[in-house]
Amino acid sequence: MNNETKYQKFALCREMLETPGVIRLFNVPGLQTYADDLKASGEALLTGEGSSRIFPAKRAIAQSLEKGEKTRFITEGATQAMAYDLTGKTVFGSSNSGRTKELIRLFDKLKKEGHPSLFGVTAASDSALESYSRKTYVLNCGSEDAVAATKSVAEQALFYDAVRAAVKGEELKGLSELAEAVEKALTMEIDPEITKLAAGAGMIYFAGRNTGVAEELTLKTNEITRRKSDFLEGTYAAHGIEEVMNPEDILIVVDPFEEEEAKFIECLSKGVGIKIISIADRKTSFDHSIVIPDAGDFQDYVELAAGWNLLVETGLELGIDLDTPARARKVGNEYTPS
């Protein structure tokens, strides 16, 4: 993906390619307010729907656990979260539009109960979400015209990264290097054979760590390529689902566990006959490897960008209008004031 007309005519591609700039200019005014509340509570619910929750929340949880941070992060969809006792927890609600029905309903309930720690993350100024929140971070990336959220997903995740860092008295470092790595992943040439495999697949499976990357790419596969897709967390792909896989399916593994590659090949490549593609900072033993730059603790963002790149090429191979899905909407379930 690059600045050629075949890409630039789509808002989706333009917005993906704006992501490195969003990373370079990232800044959160009043960051300490969010951090102080979270430090006092020690626990946060990161909620929202779809892309506003999957990657931003699950990356924060995985990184926090890897780093042994004292703060505990949990995530849940806003409707199910209504059944939880959130007393004493900081609640971050993320919605690009600021008017997602499930999230507004949760915040309305909590505000009526007197919950003091409701924070919003949105791309829309003066939104319904902001009216329910103690403080709201309005994304710097601007609005998105494409149905599939991209640059906003990255900035939402960076917001949680910045809050986590501030709780520890630190600042985010290495954003310039991250922006460069993301740009390389977005603009690298995807092997045409991989693109053809994805375009011809009956089902596109994603496997990988529970960092939100593979799961978010599963959703983007539906929105961008109109292909059916499923997320197989961790090593789930080697635990029975091969019974319903077909040789025309493919499996894309993000940052695979090296010690499990042989089992995937045995069960899926040899057992089913499917092709396996990896996205990682190394060449793997699978059929095809998309090798991306190493960005250390920020590697998830680079993996996500490489996945976007592959999905765009797949959509174009299929002759799809990337900006005009038949059924998907920009705001999935919109709140309307009664």
Contacts of 18 (CB under 8 A, 6+ apart): 141, 151
Residue 265 DSSP one-character state: I
pLDDT in tens, 209-239: 999 999 999 999 999 999 999 999 999 999 9
pLDDT in tens, 119-170: 999 999 999 999 999 999 999 999 899 988 999 999 999 999 999 999 999 9
Domains located in the chain, CATH noted:
27-171 (3.40.50.10490), 178-317 (3.40.50.10490)
* Nearest alpha-carbon partner for 17 in 158, 156, 184: 184
Give the CA distances from residue 251 to residues 45, 116, 214, 235, 260, in Å, rounded to whole numbers and listed in that order.
Answer: 32, 45, 11, 12, 14
Give φ, ψ of 308 to 5 degrees.
Answer: -55, -45
Q: Would you place residue 327 in the very low, low, confident or very high pLDDT band (cuts 50, 70, 90)?
A: low
Q: Give the angle 317-321-324 at the CA atoms, nearest 5°.
A: 150
Half-sphere exposure of 333 (CA within 13 A, CB side): 11
Global confidence as pTM: 0.95
Statement: residue 84 has pLDDT above 90: yes
pLDDT in tens, 258-267: 999 999 999 9
pLDDT at 331: 63
